[in-house]
Chain A
């Protein structure tokens, strides 16, 4: 998942970026409102953390503008004052949750997970399709309750596909969402990740959990998965 963090305090920004990368997010960062707004409107962001008090453009203004542009990724606002006026203003402008500084990183991660889940229309932290199960909290993928041994990038690809089950996801979109802005991208790597995932989920090649739609991209084969009852 690609996350945008807009925070003017460099220490907090670096700390957040580090923690989020550790958690498997592709992190884009901005230190002021203008840059943050540019990233939010131009990049395929899945979720954003926006501080309310920012230089150049306030967090509230950024949220209002991106919502006006039709961007509906979840936004979590950070507020130092913890005043209800700020929280309500932020939520009213289009934010989805708030967190008062200072916060425990675990709390932040839990909120982000919940927001992501909610934004994809899932009620719990696990997403199941037949024998295949994704746990966004534990960041694991399991088949028939057996947790698969997959890498962070493989997880990111699987998470994106499972959270967008009805969409055909192109390699570019996948690249955009799992890699950071200034990362050296190579779309062939995605093919490698998908190939490995297919082998790990379905070694006998009977379920075919990930369909390839030639020239368009990948799609989770929900029909095939749901036709098999999990163990």
Chain B
């Protein structure tokens, strides 16, 4: 889909182009009209000059050898003149007309004039004007004076004007489009700022939109802030409700379980209470998944991993395990802190439970060109007995529910799988180099 900037640029440029084409057409037309008028006036002026210089000699009209208009004296100058009598005979032609084949000239009545264009060897513009000359003996003689101008100059003038006009207009188009780009960039910069600020919220650099925005988008940013805040509050309320639900379900379950265990009378009851317990545990954990919700902040992974390892070191102190953590302090992930704790906590607890001597934890950042949010890869290797193939298949392939449980790794691993799925990640269970379990998680960058 086109961006707003591109749309505005496209429409703006089309309007500019359309406007300038109409302007060019109008200007050219106006110029041509002015040029036509100037040529008419010029031809008329030449006719009046010839009339002024002419004198009647018998029944013919005489013109001096030296004419006031120099161009009429020079051969092939582009300005020619003819005088025809009433019998259509040329009684005079300008020296410039030597070599020019006489064009078709119409006889005009006195006072009548006609302008026309002739396309023969050359394009010629011809003005024919009828005059009546009275002799001393009161006799009227009619003549037709024709002044002819080669259109070459006129056409050159029009072409030169057109070249200039279109050159300037093209330059104007470029200037206007560039100016338009700058205007759009400046005009749309608040929107770009909103986009950047939202991106900062997504990547966790900011908690909300707190910039100065123009009044036109202030409403949107204010509503977005309210939306983000509501989303966070709703998420917290949801988690609190789940915590309360967990508390109110599991407390009576604890009583029931111990009561049933104590009586040791009915194995079906014990089994079913354990089953209810597993289901409640699993389904509550599932319901608590936050997943990759919008506007999660980026959190540093190292402090969380260190906290968990130090907590588990305390709990499993008797096992004297060595846990080696490889994690750069800059590694971060856009996730709810509780989700990351559940993923790492469950995996590490399993590793501590089953490992004999050493646990290796490697956490690395996954990045991709163009991604705004970085991904993460976690690999946890232990030297315990590993996880059997059927359990792996149950969890990974069949989307196994841990309430039909995998001893030791069950609910924890199934919760991790659901969490990783909710972050569109991949959970892989394999064999570590020392023969134990190797759990790998990839949450891809976005």
B285: chain A residues within 8 A (beta carbon) = 82
Q: Check A84 against B255 for contact (C-beta < 8 Å).
A: no
How far is B318's CA from A175's CA once the two chains are assembled, in angstroms? 30
Known: A12-B258, A91-B314. 11 other contacts (CB 8 A): A11-B255, A81-B243, A81-B284, A82-B285, A84-B338, A84-B345, A88-B311, A92-B310, A96-B315, A97-B314, A102-B256
A53: chain B residues within 8 A (beta carbon) = 247
Residues from 70 to 88 in A contacting B, C-beta threshold 8 Å: 80-85, 87-88
Residue tally, chain A, CB below 8 Å to B:
28
19 contacts between A and B (CB under 8 A): A9-B254, A9-B255, A12-B251, A12-B255, A15-B259, A80-B246, A82-B281, A82-B285, A83-B338, A83-B342, A84-B338, A84-B344, A84-B345, A87-B311, A88-B308, A96-B315, A101-B251, A102-B256, A114-B318
Of the candidates B250, B307, B342, which one forms a contact with A92 in the assembled complex, judged by CB atoms under 8 Å apart? B307
Of the candidates A19, A84, A98, A102, which one forms a contact with B254 in the assembled complex, judged by CB atoms under 8 Å apart? A102
Q: Check A15 against B255 for contact (C-beta < 8 Å).
A: yes
A92: chain B residues within 8 A (beta carbon) = 307, 310-311
How far is B315's CA from A97's CA once the two chains are assembled, in angstroms? 5
How far is B366's CA from A133's CA once the two chains are assembled, in angstroms? 56
Closest to A53 in B: B247
B254: chain A residues within 8 A (beta carbon) = 9, 12, 101-103
Q: Check A87 against B250 for contact (C-beta < 8 Å).
A: no
Chain B interface, DSSP helix/strand/loop, else mixed: helix
How far is B342's CA from A103's CA once the two chains are assembled, in angstroms? 20
Interface centre among B250, B252, B257 (most CB of A within 10 A): B250
How far is B315's CA from A127's CA once the two chains are assembled, in angstroms? 21
How far is B309's CA from A84's CA once the two chains are assembled, in angstroms? 12
B284: chain A residues within 8 A (beta carbon) = 81
- The reply on B317 being an interface residue by CB < 8 A is yes
Q: Check B257 against A104 for contact (C-beta < 8 Å).
A: yes
How far is B337's CA from A80's CA once the two chains are assembled, in angstroms? 19
- The reply on A105 being an interface residue by CB < 8 A is yes
A87: chain B residues within 8 A (beta carbon) = 311, 345
How far is B247's CA from A9's CA once the two chains are assembled, in angstroms? 10
Query: What is the CB-to-nearest-CB distance from A98 to chain B, in angstroms, rounded to a whole number?
Result: 7
How far is B377's CA from A229's CA once the two chains are assembled, in angstroms? 56
Closest to A9 in B: B251
Q: Check A84 against B247 for contact (C-beta < 8 Å).
A: no
A80: chain B residues within 8 A (beta carbon) = 243, 246-247, 250-251
How far is B261's CA from A105's CA once the two chains are assembled, in angstroms? 8
Q: Check B308 against A81 for contact (C-beta < 8 Å).
A: no
- The reply on A123 being an interface residue by CB < 8 A is yes
The contact string, 1 if C-beta is below 8 Å from chain B, for chain A 122-147, is: 01000000000000000000000000
Q: Check B253 against A101 for contact (C-beta < 8 Å).
A: yes
A102: chain B residues within 8 A (beta carbon) = 250, 253-258, 277
- The reply on A199 being an interface residue by CB < 8 A is no
Residues from 11 to 70 in B contacting A, C-beta threshold 8 Å: none
How far is B307's CA from A103's CA once the two chains are assembled, in angstroms? 25
Query: What is the CB-to-nearest-CB distance from B174 to chain A, in angstroms, rounded to a whole number?
Result: 61
- The reply on B438 being an interface residue by CB < 8 A is no
Residues from 257 to 274 in B contacting A, C-beta threshold 8 Å: 257-259, 261-262
How far is B318's CA from A118's CA once the two chains are assembled, in angstroms? 8
Q: Check A81 against B247 for contact (C-beta < 8 Å).
A: yes
Closest to A95 in B: B314
Q: Check B345 against A88 for contact (C-beta < 8 Å).
A: yes
Q: Check A91 against B311 for contact (C-beta < 8 Å).
A: yes
A15: chain B residues within 8 A (beta carbon) = 255, 258-259
Query: What is the CB-to-nearest-CB distance from A168 to chain B, in angstroms, rounded to a whole number?
Result: 28
Query: What is the CB-to-nearest-CB distance from A41 to chain B, in angstroms, rounded to a whole number?
Result: 22
B259: chain A residues within 8 A (beta carbon) = 15
How far is B288's CA from A100's CA once the two chains are assembled, in angstroms? 16
A84: chain B residues within 8 A (beta carbon) = 308, 338, 341-342, 344-346
How far is B250's CA from A11's CA once the two chains are assembled, in angstroms? 12
B250: chain A residues within 8 A (beta carbon) = 80, 101-102
Q: Check B261 against A91 for contact (C-beta < 8 Å).
A: no
Query: What is the CB-to-nearest-CB distance from A34 to chain B, in angstroms, rounded to a whole number?
Result: 20
Q: Check A123 against B318 for contact (C-beta < 8 Å).
A: yes
B337: chain A residues within 8 A (beta carbon) = 85
How far is B319's CA from A123's CA once the two chains are assembled, in angstroms? 10
Query: What is the CB-to-nearest-CB distance from B360 to chain A, in angstroms, rounded to a whole number?
Result: 20
Query: What is the CB-to-nearest-CB distance from B163 to chain A, in angstroms, rounded to a whole number?
Result: 78
How far is B346's CA from A118's CA once the two chains are assembled, in angstroms? 24
B251: chain A residues within 8 A (beta carbon) = 9, 11-12, 80, 101
How far is B246's CA from A208's CA once the two chains are assembled, in angstroms? 55
Query: What is the CB-to-nearest-CB distance from B228 to chain A, in angstroms, rounded to a whole number?
Result: 22
The 9 closest A-B pairs by CB, nearest first: A84-B345, A102-B254, A91-B311, A84-B341, A80-B247, A11-B255, A102-B257, A101-B254, A80-B250
Given contacts A9-B251, A88-B307, A102-B277, contact A118 B317 (CB under 8 A): yes
A81: chain B residues within 8 A (beta carbon) = 242-243, 246-247, 284
Query: What is the CB-to-nearest-CB distance from A15 to chain B, in angstroms, rounded to a whole number?
Result: 5
How far is B352's CA from A91's CA once the two chains are assembled, in angstroms? 16
